[in-house]
Structure 1
Amino acid sequence: MTKRVAYSGPLTDSSRWDSVALRPDDIIVVTPAKSGTTWMQTIIALLLSGDPEVETELSIKMPWVDMRMRDLSEVIERLAAMPQRRSLKSHTPLDGLPLDDSAQYICVFRHPLDAHFSFRKHVGNVPFPVFDPWYPADDQTGATFQHFLTGDAQGDQCDAMPLSLILRHFTASKAVADRPNVSLFHYADMKRDLPGTFERVARLLGVRHAPQVMDKLIQAADFDNMKQNADRFCPSGGKGFFKSDSDFFDSGSSGKWQGRLSEKELADYDAILDAALSPKDRRWLEFGTEEKSGL
């Protein structure tokens, strides 16, 4: 990956990464929105601290570098002043980020339709009117899903998370997945086997904890516990940024799109994925590693 792709929307700008001086042990969580970002960041925060009661404060301690809303100089100064091992967040596909040979890149994916419907709910919980044209409150014509299917991964549409952006995330990550410092995770696998996810992330980070400590860390990252303690685990939780911290976590369920799309809408979605991905890659992107055979 020699030349980075530029991604720039009303909320994000991948060029902000030019100002970040990466450290050899940095951990960068790279995901499409609503695909398990906060969950993975929480797992990392728990593993690095070894403390099930750690105050994660993700928006401050593990900042979303791409986001325009935070002053870049303040973010860079804060990152430079951190004495501890750092973890950073990005919703930019991996081909738009600096790819350092020493840093760890953890990429998380979710069934694109689940991510889309979770994002629909998310839009109503954030103070960003920029999404209103794409996600009208009264959508009688199915415009929202058409935007999802036809939106461009680059330009102003990227922040509304079209399907093309999810596919770009996946293909860019898969293209460098043979590197030892690039790892792909799936939301469905995290749900099926949270202890296994903790063990895998711990190995990647070179972190070891006693079994009894790991058990407590895993319990802290249980979805129901995070939702019940949303003011602690939600990014900017307890600060009134979201209309509801608890709703940030929605239901954590899969298959939330079932029964909500027409046959034509599903056929259009199928056609796009079949044209973009091999059957094996599509199966993994939608459902994760259902067997222990790997990606």
Structure 2
Amino acid sequence: MTARKLYLGPLTDSRRWDMVDIRPDDVIVVTPPKCGTTWMQTIVALLFFADPEIETELSFKMPWVDIRIREMSEVAARLDAMTHRRSMKSHTPMDGLPLDDQAQYVCVFRHPLDAHFSFRRHVRNLPLSMFDMWYPEDDPDGITYRRFLDGGPEGFDTDAMPLAHILRHYKAAKTLADRPNVSLFHYADMTQDLPGTFAKLADLLDISHSDAVMAELVRAATFENMKANAARFAPSGGKGFMKSDTAFFHSGTSGKWQGVLSDKERADYDAVMDEALTPEDRMWLEYGSEGRART
């Protein structure tokens, strides 16, 4: 990519990446929200330090660069001072990020409807009023879902995570997937084969641990362990950023929309997806490797 797109929303400012001096061994986790970001960051941290008891402290040790909440000069200085291998997080699509030839970009996706329903619950757990318009607590008219389908991929809509933003993420990552330093992972595959996810990522990051150590790291990254230790694993856990750290790890399951959406709502979603993606791309974005096997 020769020109980066600008993603500028209430929380997001992709220009903040201009202050990051990317190193060749950096690992940048790039995802739409609620698609396995914290899970993948935790796996990276465990692989880096080979310690199942590591205090991940993701918000500080592996910062979300795009978010406006912290002064970028402070974030950049903290990153510059790190002497160990670094990782960072971004909710900006790949076409809005600086693309280094050697740093690893780990892109994670999830069925868009699962991500949407997970985000609905997530905003109720945040002490922020900015989402109230898109995600009203009382929504008898289905405003939230309508905006999910109709919202744009950038501008103010960016941080409300409409379907268009998820699709932009996927298309931007898929365009670069032939590069050796851009990898696509899927939440469903991580759920079905966590040891395989660790092995694949360790290979990409050129990290090697004994079988015994890897087994302990995998155990630490299970949903059950992360939820049981929510104050340790949730972003800014134990600091009161969210109303409940435990609620951040609600269920980790898929198919949250089944039995909830009406036939028309599901048909409207299908129409957007079929127009935006090939059948093969749609099946992968929704179901990962299992979806690819169906085509």
Partners of 1:26 and 1:127 lie apart in 2 by: 32
One-letter amino acid matched to 2:7: Y
Partners of 1:25 and 1:294 lie apart in 2 by: 36
One-letter amino acid matched to 1:99: L
Instruction: Find the counterpart in structure 1 of residue 281 from structure 2.
Output: 281
What are the superposed Cα offsets for residues 73-110 of structure 1, whole Å, 9 maximum, x if unpaired? 10000000000000000000000000100100000000
The question of whether the paired residues in 1 share the 8 Å contact of 2:8 and 2:154 is answered with yes
The question of whether the paired residues in 1 share the 8 Å contact of 2:284 and 2:292 is answered with no
One-letter amino acid matched to 1:3: A
Instruction: Find the counterpart in structure 2 of residue 83 from structure 1.
Output: 83
Instruction: Find the counterpart in structure 2 of residue 24 from structure 1.
Output: 24
Partners of 1:143 and 1:292 lie apart in 2 by: 32
Change (3 A) 1:265 1:250: same
Match status 1:61 vs 2:97: no
After TM superposition, list the pairs within 5 Å mapping 1:1-295 onto structure 2. 1-290=1-290
Shift of 1:29: 0.2
Partners of 1:63 and 1:202 lie apart in 2 by: 21
DSSP 3-state at the match of 1:184: strand
DSSP 3-state at the match of 2:184: strand
Partners of 2:134 and 2:292 lie apart in 1 by: 38
One-letter amino acid matched to 2:125: N
Shift of 1:128: 1.4
Q: How many residue pairs align between the two structures?
A: 295
After TM superposition, which residue ranges in structure 1, 4 or more long, deviate above 2 angstroms?
A: 291-295
The question of whether the paired residues in 1 share the 8 Å contact of 2:283 and 2:292 is answered with no
One-letter amino acid matched to 1:217: L
Partners of 2:213 and 2:114 lie apart in 1 by: 32
Partners of 1:74 and 1:135 lie apart in 2 by: 32
Normalising by structure 1, we get a TM-score of: 0.98
DSSP 3-state at the match of 2:213: helix
Q: Which runs of 5+ in 1 are unaligned?
A: none
- Superposed CA RMSD in Å reads 1.3
Partners of 1:120 and 1:179 lie apart in 2 by: 34
What are the superposed Cα offsets for residues 49-69 of structure 1, whole Å, 9 maximum, x if unpaired? 000000000000000000000
Percentage identity across paired residues of the two chains: 66
Change (3 A) 1:77 1:294: farther
One-letter amino acid matched to 1:105: Y
DSSP 3-state at the match of 1:130: coil
Normalising by structure 2, we get a TM-score of: 0.98
